[in-house]
Structure 1
Amino acid sequence: MKILPFINTLVYAINLGIILSLVFYKRERPEKVLAWFLVLVFLPPVGLFLYFYMGINWRDTVLNDRFSPTISDLIHKSLGRFEGPNADMARMVSNLNASPMFHHNEITLYKDGIEKFSALIKDLKNAKHHIHLEYYIIKSDELGRQIFDILKEKAESGVKVRVIMDKIGCRKFNKFYKKDLMAAGVEIVTYTATFAFVSSIVDMSINYRNHRKMVIIDGQIGYTGGNNIGNEYVSKGHMGYWRDTHMRVEGDFVLGMQGLFFDDFFAVLHRNQASRKWEYIKQSEIYTEESDLAEYFEPTQITKNLPMQICYSGPESAFYSIELMYIKMITTAKERIFISTPYFIPSEGTASALKAAIKSGVDVQIMFPAQYDHPMVGHASMTYLAEMIESGARVFLYDKKAFTHNKAMICDGRSFTIGTANFDVRSFFFNYEVNTLIYDEYYASKMEGLFQEDLENAEELTLENYFNRSRTVFLKESFFRIFSLL
């Protein structure tokens, strides 16, 4: 028996089984089934590899898509009902995440990491009780060590320091430095997307990542938005100036961030300890699970009225909360929608909602980077942006010598969302994300002002100049579009 024909037949048989499983067992979304069908049939060996790399749900640690009852009880529900113009939106988010409306808050918006990290470092140095930090990407470069040296000093002084890392996102974090931090009392847990016995060897899946980014300090101050921790996020990378909205908040909203962090931390900690890696066994000896978390949910003294909600979702969500939030915001907009995103691979629902809004007379403008940090995704995004232009949207490409990693949407100058979710299917369906939804005209106008500033450093993409490019670029974009929904 010749081995090569046998292998080809086996690959085709496995691929056929995968396709049938997607259709009849998993009942995946039609556009995803079609995408896998094309890859598995026309690129059999590559498709099979990609399916094991991207398609299988290897999820080892499942993060909650609603606050756990214990945590929910600790979040003060005396925050009242919201009767503003977006009351139906507030009810939807509350029903999806068991998240109340957080009324009393003060926020500061940062347009880049230079502003954000300058403020964060000051707050970290002033921490008295605890520091909770959760990021997708953390590097042990100049910025990373500056922050983690502070965490180490704080842990040694008695401040409780907890950190959640993602195995893929933090793969460049120095292992020896990490052990040094843990020995000093910094509690670090690592989210993995593969089975525990496999993750000790390899975790290669680019899907099912913990993409959340939060810092909570003493239960009174919170940071969330698009920045990760690394030199490029303070514009010291090869892409030049890095545009990225982040937020500092004081007030009731921090309670929601605290609740989400604890749910994530305990879920990841449990799996890390079960993996039996020596560093986690050692860590479990240091770590003593507290029976009473009330001291982490102290009422704030902020009295300013600024209604905010936390919206989060993940691959295990019964309802994809962030996608539904975007759809609801888009379909209720009457005048204008401004979107900033580094990746634009809309779901069928969000794409249809945008097209319906455009045809209803809503001014839809999308800001997208002129240079890509992930070329495959960038090229695929251009095909979807062209569809939006054909429908009547206006698309702008940000400064070619800079990069916009900004993730925001502002509707009618009344409400907006910022956070970790990109406007793409990976954020909607495959990754754990967290967004902030803010109902306030003053801050919405500030966000629109930042969008207008970005327009000054951008060029409009028209259908004429989209099609007036080389055939090679056009074919490249069409090819990568095939993989965009996987």
Structure 2
Amino acid sequence: MTWRRILKAFPTVVLVVDILIRVVAVVAVPRNRRPSSAMAWLMAIFVAPIPGSILFGLLGSSKLPQDRRDKQREINDLILENTQGLDNRAATVTQPPWFGTVVQLNRTLGAMPLIPGNTAALLPDYAGSIAAMTEAVDAATRYVHVEFYIFTRDESTFLFFDALKRAHDRGVKVRVLYDHWATIRNPQGRVTRQWLRDSGIRFEEMLPFHPTQGMWRRPDLRNHRKIVVVDGDVAFTGSQNMTDPSYNKRGNMRRGLQWKDLMVRLDGPAAIGLNALFITDWYSETDELPTDAEAEPLIEQRSGEDALECQVVPSGPGFDGENNLRLFNALVYGAQERLIIASPYFVPDDSMLYAITTAAERGVDVQLFACEVADQFLVYHAQRSYYETLLRSGVRIFLYEKPTVLHSKHFTVDDDVAVIGSSNMDMRSFSLNFEVSLMVRGSRFVDQVRLIENDYRSRSHEVTLAAWLSRPAGLQILDNVARLTAAVQ
């Protein structure tokens, strides 16, 4: 009799739960969330209320645990306190006219000051950048700080790892950070972890997921930064991971995929900004701050016409605002003549899409470099769903020839400003990933980036609106469906 009553009442219970989930979702999902993301989540919940609500519970918040947020604020306050008085430079910048306000925006959001007296060298060759970082580590006398999203010892990187071991053996403080999930799931990840242990090099895995230890957070938050700092006055950053250009994956090797990246070597006082960012992440994972003697940089300002002004801009869930998105939009609106963007994963939110299309429509020469082939199925097709809108507004789109994956992440504004870093122009990089961007003011540096952009153009084919509209209907549907999934952040 009891089971019959339960079975009889079951449809009513399911209906009530279904209605409650939908009502609660309408109230809870849109709160403090961009409209496109809220609509995507609501659609998922309304189509499948129970699975959708479970996914929202797992992935609906990009916030870090409270203790991690407290650490981020503590170190941010420390950095701001120790760099007071270095902000005066922004107020004196007059060219381009809008640049000083962008510097102030970054500073308000938690960036380092704009620091003059630096030199920078671009490293567009994959093996060449690893060789440059290896050489710098071999010259270290005090400390080496290393932070990568993917960090594996393999045929392409063993020279760098051996340099770390030599530095450690001669008494240099070597500290290594790598993203836990991205590295361990790589075919060489666990071997690399064991090598670090055997070598005695101090390392920490960033953002490990341990929900049973009171550290609940969204499991797909990632530390996507790429940083090497040597003795505080030499630093490297950019888009390249410390791994083989095939990422050691059989599928990539079978397809012949090879990653192409852009790194920059920075010499001068702005290296302290990258070092401060490393120290922030080290403290978040270990509760330890390197002593002042170890972390204090050897500041030496470069002079001459090649000297550059640089500002390190961190972003990620530890900050209240989407620092990289705000920076990118400000620079796009500042562009007057030319805006050239390289991004392997271009899935903008509405604000960025409007900024870029508006720039093109007001006469700015806007160009986007993306990939003809990619490794991430949904992101690849979501990106393609934006091409029609971009092309109609006048944006020129160039797809880099396969089987190379153009993984570089940078853009130039007119002849004055360049940004190089780890951040894609997609909603994951804006909201979920810890990223780093280096903003550089200097026409000579922009000219060097333009040479690299010219090389990209020579190895790419341009997409036309007519050709794009004629692609098969099945692909158009797939692109648009993938776009919906990209908005679920």
Q: TM-score, normalised by structure 1?
A: 0.87
Report the equivalent of 2:155: 142
Report the equivalent of 1:244: 261
Report the equivalent of 2:367: 365
Report Cα offsets for 1:241-261 as digits up to 9, x if no partner: 422111001101101111111
Shift of 1:132: 0.3
SS in 2 for 1:373: coil
Distance 1:92 1:290, change over 3 A: closer
Report the equivalent of 2:228: 215
Whether the aligned pair in 2 keeps the contact of 1:334 and 1:362 (CA below 8 Å) is: yes
Distance 1:56 1:93, change over 3 A: closer
Distance 1:35 1:150, change over 3 A: same
Report Cα offsets for 1:6-42 as digits up to 9, x if no partner: 678757744653443223xx43111111010111212
Q: 406-415 or 78-87, which moves further after superposition?
A: 78-87
Q: Does 1:205 align with 2:213?
A: no
| Counterpart among 34, 47, 50 of residue 29 in structure 1 | 34
Structure 2 residue identity aligned to 1:68: N
| Counterpart among 211, 216, 241 of residue 228 in structure 1 | 241
Whether the aligned pair in 2 keeps the contact of 1:65 and 1:312 (CA below 8 Å) is: no
Whether the aligned pair in 1 keeps the contact of 2:111 and 2:311 (CA below 8 Å) is: no
Whether the aligned pair in 1 keeps the contact of 2:118 and 2:301 (CA below 8 Å) is: no
Whether the aligned pair in 2 keeps the contact of 1:15 and 1:48 (CA below 8 Å) is: no
Matching of residues 333-412 of structure 1 within 5 Å: 333-412=335-414
Q: 121-130 or 31-40, which moves further after superposition?
A: 121-130
| Counterpart among 11, 27, 32 of residue 20 in structure 1 | 27
Q: How many residues align?
A: 465
Q: Does 1:81 align with 2:61?
A: no
Q: Which runs of 5+ in 1 are unaligned?
A: 271-287
Report Cα offsets for 1:75-111 as digits up to 9, x if no partner: 5855851424122222222222252111011111012
Structure 1 residue identity aligned to 2:202: E
Taking the aligned partners of 1:325 and 1:30, their CA distance within structure 2 comes to 21
Identity, % of aligned positions? 24
Taking the aligned partners of 1:4 and 1:453, their CA distance within structure 2 comes to 65
Q: CA RMSD in A?
A: 2.9
Structure 2 residue identity aligned to 1:298: L
Whether the aligned pair in 2 keeps the contact of 1:58 and 1:194 (CA below 8 Å) is: no
Report the equivalent of 1:100: 113
Distance 1:89 1:9, change over 3 A: same
Report the equivalent of 2:292: 292
Report Cα offsets for 1:267-293 as digits up to 9, x if no partner: 1113xxxxxxxxxxxxxxxxx755534
Shift of 1:193: 6.1
Q: Does 1:113 align with 2:121?
A: no
| Counterpart among 455, 475, 478 of residue 477 in structure 2 | 475
Shift of 1:4: 8.7
Taking the aligned partners of 2:379 and 2:214, their CA distance within structure 1 comes to 26
SS in 1 for 2:312: strand
SS in 2 for 1:143: coil
Structure 1 residue identity aligned to 2:212: F
Whether the aligned pair in 1 keeps the contact of 2:29 and 2:42 (CA below 8 Å) is: no
Shift of 1:380: 0.5
Distance 1:89 1:27, change over 3 A: closer
Distance 1:338 1:291, change over 3 A: closer
Q: 401-410 or 54-63, which moves further after superposition?
A: 54-63
Report the equivalent of 2:274: 257
Report the equivalent of 1:275: none
Matching of residues 447-466 of structure 1 within 5 Å: 447-466=449-468
Taking the aligned partners of 2:300 and 2:169, their CA distance within structure 1 comes to 27
Taking the aligned partners of 1:258 and 1:267, their CA distance within structure 2 comes to 14
Distance 1:241 1:192, change over 3 A: closer
Taking the aligned partners of 2:202 and 2:45, their CA distance within structure 1 comes to 43
SS in 1 for 2:366: strand
Shift of 1:453: 1.4
Q: 389-398 or 239-248, which moves further after superposition?
A: 239-248
Shift of 1:177: 4.4
Distance 1:57 1:128, change over 3 A: same
Report Cα offsets for 1:337-377 as digits up to 9, x if no partner: 10110011112211111122122111111111000111100
SS in 1 for 2:197: helix
Q: Which runs of 5+ in 2 are unaligned?
A: 1-5
Shift of 1:50: 3.7
Matching of residues 49-60 of structure 1 within 5 Å: 50-57=55-62, 59-60=64-65
Whether the aligned pair in 2 keeps the contact of 1:345 and 1:425 (CA below 8 Å) is: yes
Distance 1:441 1:295, change over 3 A: same
Distance 1:180 1:357, change over 3 A: closer
SS in 1 for 2:419: strand
Shift of 1:72: 4.2
Q: Does 1:317 align with 2:319?
A: yes
SS in 2 for 1:309: strand
Taking the aligned partners of 1:289 and 1:95, their CA distance within structure 2 comes to 24
Report the equivalent of 1:417: 419
